[in-house]
Amino acid sequence: MKIPIHREGWPFIALFAAANAALYWLSPWLGALFAPIALWCVAFFRDPERVPPPGENSIVSPADGVLLPIVEVPPPAELEMGDAPRRRLSIFMNVFDVHVNRMPVSGEVIALHYRPGRFFNASFDKASIHNERLSARIRPECSSVPDHDLAVVQIAGLVARRIVCDVTTGAQVRRGARYGMIRFGSRLDVYLPLSARIVIKEGSVTRAGETVLAELQG
């Protein structure tokens, strides 16, 4: 069965395969012990197709993972979305989840901002504040009102050392479309518009591009 692989993964897969072959040459036992790690590398970079649900007002999950507790906090200051607290939905990805990130809504990328930082465990709440991150401000195409803008933030984790983002400021994006990934283990935060209605519960398992997090209102 063919496994779709994200292009970021091929150098790592080649490296792990070469290491596995070298270990087999030295000792079949060492090669057998390392084989599950090489297979994990392939699985980490898998990139399955996803089909967004109908409904232009739906905000879908940008990542596979588990929804952490929902909190109300201001969005990242660098996106200039104001200081008013917004509900933040945080999705934690462990090293076994699909790590390809997808757009939560269709619309226009209003702003992008990369900020270096620490590498705390991504399941900790302080990771949203202190960790390395790449923030994107999106204006949904179903509304031209700035108050309906939302933010999606890629956050590096404890062992993550590279955030990949394939969109640029001004780009038109589609809901559920691939836009980046994070290596290895991390989280994504979604700061909802004030009028959005949450339709998911804390602790739910999400699928990028398919699981509906909230609905835009008005």
Here the tokens at position 136 are 């994107």
C-alpha 162/C-alpha 58 separation (Å) is 29
CB 188 within 8 A of CB 107: no
CA gap 160, 167 in Å, rounded:
20
Burial 168-196 (b: 16+ CB within 10 A, else e): eeeeebebbebbbbbbbbbbbbbbbbeeb
Residue 56, SS3? coil
Let me know: does 179 contact 63? Beta carbons within 8 Å: no
Based on the residue annotation, tell me whether 58 is a catalytic residue of this protein: no
Task: Report d(CA 86, CA 93) in Å as an integer.
Answer: 22
List 58, 123, 186, 204, catalytic entry: 186
Catalytic site residues? 186
